[in-house]
C-alpha cells in the first residue's frame, strides 16, 4: 500500500513538473498580446538594421558597404524567425500578413492588429535612429536609384516582393522545409534581392520598412511606390502559390500563426 501511495505521489509530482515547464500554446486567444508584441519587436529589429545600415554607413564614412547593407536585413529576419517565429509567425511585413490571409493561412480578423503592431515597431525604430544619429542619410529610407523612374521602381518592388512572398509561402507549406528551417531560405532571398536590385529601388519589399523612415523624416514623396509595389507582388505570389500547390496546407497555417515553442 505504501508503495502504491509513493508511486502515485511520484506521478503527481512529475505531472506538476510537466505542466510547470510546458511551453505556452501561443494560438490561444489569451496570448494575442504576445503575438502582437512579437510583431512589433521583430519589425523594430528589422527596420533598425535595414534603415540603420544606411545611417551608420553615412556616419562612418562608408565603413558599411552596399553588400553589408543588403545582407544584414536578411540575417536579422532569419534570426527573428528562429528566436520567436513560434510565437506569432514572424511576419514583420504587412505584405506578408495580407498574403497569408489571402492564402487562407491566417485569419483576416487578426490582420489589422498585426499590421498596426508592425507599423508601431517600424516607426519606433526610425525614431530611435533619429534620436541616436539625427536626420542623416534620410534615416535609411528607400528611394529609386539615380536615373530610375517611379514606374521602374514600382515594377521592381512588385517583382522582388513576389519572389519573397513565394519563398515564404513555399517554405511554410511543408513541401520542402519544415518549420523555422524556412528562415534560411527567406533570409538568403532578402540578401540576394538586395545584392542585385538595391541600386534600382532599394529592395524594400516591405511597406513598413519604407514608410517608417519616410514618416519620421517628413518626406513621403515616393512612399506610394513602396506600399503599392509590395502589395501587388504579394498578391501575385498568392496566385502563383495556388497554381503550384493548390489549397492552403495545415503546415502553412502553423507557420503563419505560430504555435507552441
Mean local confidence (pLDDT), 127-155: 97
Locate all alpha helices (DSSP H) within the chain, ordered by sequence.
Answer: 2-21, 32-59, 66-88, 94-102, 111-133, 150-172, 182-201, 207-217, 223-245, 250-257
Write the pLDDT tens digit of every residue in 57-80.
999 988 999 999 999 999 999 999
Range scoring the smallest mean pLDDT among 112-116, 214-218, 252-256: 252-256
Domains and CATH numbers, the chain: 29-257 (1.20.1080.10)
Q: What predicted TM-score, i.e. pTM, was given to this entire model?
A: 0.87
Q: What is the pLDDT of residue 30?
A: 73
Write the pLDDT tens digit of every residue in 172-226.
865 444 555 789 999 999 999 999 999 999 999 999 999 999 999 999 999 999 9
Residue 109 gets the label, from left (phi > 0), alpha (psi -120 to 50) or beta, of: alpha
Amino acid at each position: 500500500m505504501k508503495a502504491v501511495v509513493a508511486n502515485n505521489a511520484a506521478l503527481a509530482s512529475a505531472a506538476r513538473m510537466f505542466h510547470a515547464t510546458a511551453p505556452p500554446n501561443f494560438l490561444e486567444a489569451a496570448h494575442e498580446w504576445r503575438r502582437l508584441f512579437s510583431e512589433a519587436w521583430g519589425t523594430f529589429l528589422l527596420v533598425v538594421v535595414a534603415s540603420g545600415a544606411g545611417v551608420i554607413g553615412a556616419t562612418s564614412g562608408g565603413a558599411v558597404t552596399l553588400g553589408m547593407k543588403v545582407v544584414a536585413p536578411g540575417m536579422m529576419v532569419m534570426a527573428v524567425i528562429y528566436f520567436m517565429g513560434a510565437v506569432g509567425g514572424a511576419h514583420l511585413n504587412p505584405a506578408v500578413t495580407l498574403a497569408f490571409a489571402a492564402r487562407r493561412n491566417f485569419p483576416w480578423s487578426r490582420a489589422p492588429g498585426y499590421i498596426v503592431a508592425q507599423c508601431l515597431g517600424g516607426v519606433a525604430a526610425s525614431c530611435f535612429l533619429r534620436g541616436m544619429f539625427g536626420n542623416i542619410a534620410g534615416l535609411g529610407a528607400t528611394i529609386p536609384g539615380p536615373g530610375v523612374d517611379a514606374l521602374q521602381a514600382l515594377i521592381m518592388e512588385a517583382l522582388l516582393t513576389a519572389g519573397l512572398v513565394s519563398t515564404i509561402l513555399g517554405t511554410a507549406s511543408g513541401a520542402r522545409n519544415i518549420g523555422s528551417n524556412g528562415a534560411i531560405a527567406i533570409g538568403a532571398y532578402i540578401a540576394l534581392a538586395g545584392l542585385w536590385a538595391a541600386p534600382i529601388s532599394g529592395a524594400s519589399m516591405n511597406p513598413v520598412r519604407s514608410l517608417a523612415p519616410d514618416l519620421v523624416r517628413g518626406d513621403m514623396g515616393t512612399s506610394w511606390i513602396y506600399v503599392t509595389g509590395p502589395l501587388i507582388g504579394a498578391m501575385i505570389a498568392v496566385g502563383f502559390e495556388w497554381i503550384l500547390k493548390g489549397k492552403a496546407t495545415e503546415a502553412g497555417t502553423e507557420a503563419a500563426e505560430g504555435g507552441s515553442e
